[in-house]
């Protein structure tokens, strides 16, 4: 849900900070007051095209920030996480800055973002329906997604997409084999010979380090034994051995301890050294006894090292990487083995193709049912929205080539009035008709719509009276499930809203500026009276406005 919109130096808006509420909100005001500018500002944060006219005259830049509540919007949170654009918990900030040159910069939760990324994030947040705004209902992908969602077919559509990817992958494997059969055969023969040679080495992971350490020990065995023996002699067994000298010092100090207790501190420092020297000398003695000269084993280890070095040089890897190379060789042979038989590849491709078509046919059947039900519901809604006799169709056009999204292209078509031929929604000329059609569709789809905020502009073009009341009621119903905002000139629509904002334009020092005021009860009566009565507002007009709001004049 949209929580806050901050606008600075945008067109004729100097500074506005608007806080939004759930439910149905209308924006009213005189023509030219700047109501659509607020929608344009919001659209800018959603990735709409930016140009120099967005910057208020004399300002350094235009700056618009939209703050959304992202709690419960799992698709958005997942998208933000996947693109490393997440921010504070439960909040999503979209910002756009436009320079006087027309250059713009985008931000999502403070992270730099492209206009395309703003558009992608915006698709999870807001849907704007109006003559001059981006209209998701005109996009084939959105029409397909709405139909699938209405029919509860998202899981089946995902299954079809995955089956299509598997089919295409196996087709590419078969084509690659057919185009490179000779090269694959040559590679397989080379790898078989390589695998046999590496297998013969029988080099286990970690063996290189172990055998290197053993070689160093065997090659220097004489020096190691000599050093151990000399150490034992110097530490413990010689006439002037360190341990003998230390033992003498400790014994003498112990006899003198009774004459000066301060010697205890010195003895406490020397006695652990005595123990450590004893342990060190014993360890050296045992080490020397266990270390043997073994020329035969040394030759064997050197031969092993030579063999490993030769293999490493041959395959241009480090010796300790030979086990990994052997594993990769075996894996590649398995891959080539699976593709060694062209008949096997063709069979796997045929199986994947059959699985795709089976899943796609089930999806097509579900789409036909959903299309019929959706078309009936929207057509019924059109009859109440000054489009009597009009019809709505969800056409399923078979594709000449299967696609990841199925066997057909989905297209929304509409005949706004009786006697007209249905045509694609994108080609409907009247902005008012398109907005009312969007309203009818959104009402039918409201139970499955994923976007939390809906914005309608010019839904009241060419209607009035009873139809206007119906439009207001439908928008209010939508407001029970979504956050709905609507720009309107009709008092019947305004009276149905939960909140009403008055947009006005002032002229200060020759510079026009737009301001927005949230109306309380008395203010709403006055504004709706203005919408009813024009220039001169009478007591009767105010009474009528109060009745429309279900209030009584004080």
User: What are the boundaries of each domain within the chain?
Assistant: 187-338
Q: What is the model's pLDDT at position 469?
A: 86
pLDDT at 429 over 60: no
Sign of CA dihedral 411, 416, 422, 426: negative
pLDDT at 398 over 80: yes
Which structure tokens are listed for 211? 């055998």
Q: What is the model's pLDDT at position 156?
A: 96
The percent of residues above 90 in pLDDT, for the chain, comes to 31
Quick one: 461 exposed, middle or buried, by C-beta within 10 A (0-12, 13-18, 19+)? middle
Residue 127 neighbours by CB under 8 Å, 6+ apart: 136, 442, 451, 453, 454, 455
pTM, two decimal places: 0.59
> Which one is predicted more confidently, 22 or 246?
22
Residue with tokens 């429309």: 548
- Cα separation of 225 and 241, whole Å? 19
Q: What is the model's pLDDT at position 350?
A: 95
Which of 186-190, 196-200, 286-290 bottoms out in mean pLDDT, i.e. has the lowest? 286-290
Q: Distance of CA 496 to CAs 281, 396, 449, 504, Å?
A: 98, 37, 22, 21
Give yes or no for a contact between 73 and 483, defined as CB atoms under 8 angstroms apart: no
Longest dimension (CA), the chain: 127
Q: What share of the chain is helix, strand, coil (3-state, %, to 5)?
A: 55, 20, 25
Q: What is the model's pLDDT at position 330?
A: 83
What pairs with residue 392 in β-bridges? 414
Residue 60 neighbours by CB under 8 Å, 6+ apart: 9, 100
> Which one is predicted more confidently, 301 or 173?
173
Nearest to 203 by CA among 192, 191, 212: 212
Instruction: Report residue 442: phi and psi, to 5°.
Output: -65, -35
> Which one is predicted more confidently, 370 or 325?
370
Q: What is the model's pLDDT at position 136?
A: 62
pLDDT at 163 over 80: yes
Q: What is the model's pLDDT at position 411?
A: 93
Residue 410: which pLDDT band, with cuts at 50, 70 and 90?
Answer: very high
Most confident residue range from 91-95, 202-206, 277-281 = 91-95
Please give the average per-residue pLDDT across 476-502, as a whole number: 90
CA 98 to chain centre: 25
> Which one is predicted more confidently, 167 or 223?
167
The percent of residues above 70 in pLDDT, for the chain, comes to 87
What crossing angle do the helices spanning 207-219 and 221-232 adopt, rounded to 10°? 60
The DSSP output letter for 462 is: T
């Amino acid at each position: 849900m949209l929580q806050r919109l901050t606008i600075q130096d945008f067109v004729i808006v100097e500074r506005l900070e608007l806080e939004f509420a759930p439910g149905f909100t209308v924006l009213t005001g005189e023509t030219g007051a700047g109501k659509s500018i607020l929608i344009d500002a919001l659209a800018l944060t959603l990735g709409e095209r930016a140009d120099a006219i967005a910057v208020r005259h004399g300002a350094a830049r235009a700056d618009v920030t939209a703050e959304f509540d992202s709690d419960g919007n799992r698709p958005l949170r997942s998208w933000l996480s996947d693109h490393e654009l997440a921010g504070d918990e439960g909040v999503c900030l979209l910002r756009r800055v436009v320079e006087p040159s027309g250059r713009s910069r985008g931000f999502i939760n403070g992270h730099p973002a492209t206009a395309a990324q703003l558009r992608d994030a915006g698709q999870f947040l807001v849907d704007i329906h109006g003559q001059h705004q981006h209209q998701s209902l005109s996009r084939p992908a959105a029409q397909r997604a709405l139909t699938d969602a209405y029919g509860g077919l998202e899981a089946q559509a995902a299954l079809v997409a995955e089956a299509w990817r598997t089919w295409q992958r196996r087709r590419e494997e078969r084509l690659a084999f057919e185009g490179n059969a000779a090269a694959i055969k040559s590679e397989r023969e080379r790898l078989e010979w390589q695998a046999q040679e590496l297998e013969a080495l029988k080099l286990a992971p970690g063996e290189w380090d172990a055998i290197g350490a053993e070689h160093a020990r065997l090659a220097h065995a004489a020096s190691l034994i000599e050093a151990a023996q000399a150490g034992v002699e110097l530490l413990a067994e010689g006439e002037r051995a360190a341990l003998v000298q230390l033992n003498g010092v400790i014994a003498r100090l112990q006899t003198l301890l009774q004459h000066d207790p301060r010697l205890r501190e010195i003895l406490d420092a020397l006695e652990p050294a005595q123990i450590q020297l004893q342990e060190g000398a014993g360890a050296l003695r045992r080490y020397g006894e266990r270390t043997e000269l073994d020329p035969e084993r040394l030759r064997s280890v050197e031969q092993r090292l030579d063999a490993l070095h030769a293999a490493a040089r041959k395959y241009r890897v480090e010796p300790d990487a030979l086990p990994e190379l052997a594993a990769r060789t075996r894996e590649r042979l398995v891959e080539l083995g699976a593709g060694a038989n062209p008949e096997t590849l063709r069979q796997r491709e045929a199986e994947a193709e059959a699985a795709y078509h089976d899943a796609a046919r089930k999806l097509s059947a579900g789409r036909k049912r959903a299309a019929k039900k959706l078309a009936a519901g929207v057509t019924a809604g059109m009859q109440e929205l000054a489009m009597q006799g009009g019809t709505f169709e969800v056409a399923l056009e078979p594709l000449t080539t299967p696609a990841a999204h199925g066997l057909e292209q989905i297209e929304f078509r509409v005949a706004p009035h009786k006697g007209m031929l249905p045509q694609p929604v994108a080609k409907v000329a009247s902005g008012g008709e398109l907005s009312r059609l969007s309203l009818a569709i959104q009402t039918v789809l409201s139970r499955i719509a994923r976007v939390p905020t809906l914005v309608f502009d010019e839904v009241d073009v060419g209607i009035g009276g009873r139809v206007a009341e119906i439009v207001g009621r439908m928008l209010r119903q939508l407001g029970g499930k979504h956050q709905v905002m609507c720009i309107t000139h009709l008092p019947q629509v305004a009276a149905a809203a939960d909140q009403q904002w008055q947009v006005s334009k002032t002229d200060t020092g020759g510079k026009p500026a737009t301001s927005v005021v949230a109306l309380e009860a008395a203010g709403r009566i006055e504004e709706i009276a203005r919408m009813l009565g024009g220039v001169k507002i009478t007591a009767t007009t105010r009474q009528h406005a109060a009745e429309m709001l279900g209030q009584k004049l004080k």
